Amino acid sequence: MQRIDLEHVTSSELEEAIAAGVTTVVLPIGSIAQHGRHLPLGTDAMIGDELGRRVADRLGAVLAPTVRVGCADQHMTFAGTLTLTRDTLRALAVEIGLSLARHGFRLIVLLPTHRGNIPATVAAVEDLNDTLDDAVAYAPVTDIDLLEYVIENASLESGVTLAQSGAHAGEWETSAMLALSPELVRRDRAETGYTGPAVNELNEDGIAIEQLSPNGVMGDPTLADADRGHGYVERLADVIASAVSVLRETEAVPA
């Protein structure tokens, strides 16, 4: 079954789809934050748009509009970054989830595409599952190590190391944006950033990104390639959709 874009259908059409058994909804949670001198501020939200579309396609689900602003305090030194507190994002995700459940969705998939959003997303899922009686909230993307493993394997096949692939605005995100919106990538401004040992959860450690990388880049975007970008997004969509499918089967959650 093809995905349904919530923003593109009427209320009555959505009611008909839910009544017909389409009760899974995907909610991407992105970010507006600096991504070096070469990528747009909306990179995480744009990747959320596309990853959400591909996951919803695979699941035959409804795609809710991406939450575009997330927790990006560690990037606030750079102009244009917008940030919410963790409590605000948690409350926003919970209230959207409750709205969706009220209309009959049984499985609410929260999909953060910015690592700073993960703690708030995990907390929101816990809150929703403590509140909902006839619906389940689930966040398949809460394990940074798993995501890095997916990207690392895809990168290594092309001779790109995990450090070069990068945690922020590096090779993999730049490759993804070259695949999705090449007109928004300023390749002539791409500069290598921090390529040292992996640093997880920068905001958890209280580390502003410029302390590690003055240009705001983690990785080497000069190595980016559009074909690899397509592969990265496809692999991530496969892994995420597979995790949701397993939940549906093991927990007997309706589609």
b/e per residue, 229-253, with b = 16+ CB within 10 A? Answer: bebbbeebbebbbebbeebbeeeeb
Which residues on adjacent β-strands are paired with residue 155? none
Give the pLDDT means over successive 10-residue stretches in the chain (255 positions).
94 98 97 98 98 97 98 96 98 98 97 94 97 95 69 78 91 97 98 84 64 94 96 93 91 70
Q: Report the pLDDT value the prediction gives residue 196, as an integer from 0 to 100.
A: 87
Q: Report the pLDDT value the prediction gives residue 203, as an integer from 0 to 100.
A: 46
Q: Report the pLDDT value the prediction gives residue 154, as an integer from 0 to 100.
A: 74
| CATH of region 4-251, choose from 3.40.50.2300, 3.40.50.10310, 1.20.140.10, 1.10.287.70 | 3.40.50.10310
d(CA 36, CA 195): 14
Query: In sequence order, which ranges of the chain are alpha helices (DSSP H)?
Result: 11-19, 43-59, 86-102, 118-131, 144-156, 162-165, 171-180, 202-205, 226-251
d(CA 49, CA 243): 19
Amino acid at 119: P
Query: What's the chain's length in residues?
Result: 255
Domain ranges across the chain: 4-251
Q: Report the pLDDT value the prediction gives residue 201, as an integer from 0 to 100.
A: 46
Q: Report the pLDDT value the prediction gives residue 220, as an integer from 0 to 100.
A: 97
* 218 DSSP assignment: B
d(CA 46, CA 216): 19
3-state secondary structure 140-207: CCCCHHHHHHHHHHHHHCCCCCHHHHCCECCHHHHHHHHHHCHHHCCHHHCCCCECCCCCCCHHHHCC
**This prediction's pTM:** 0.94
The two three-digit tokens of residue 171, written as one number:
């090779």
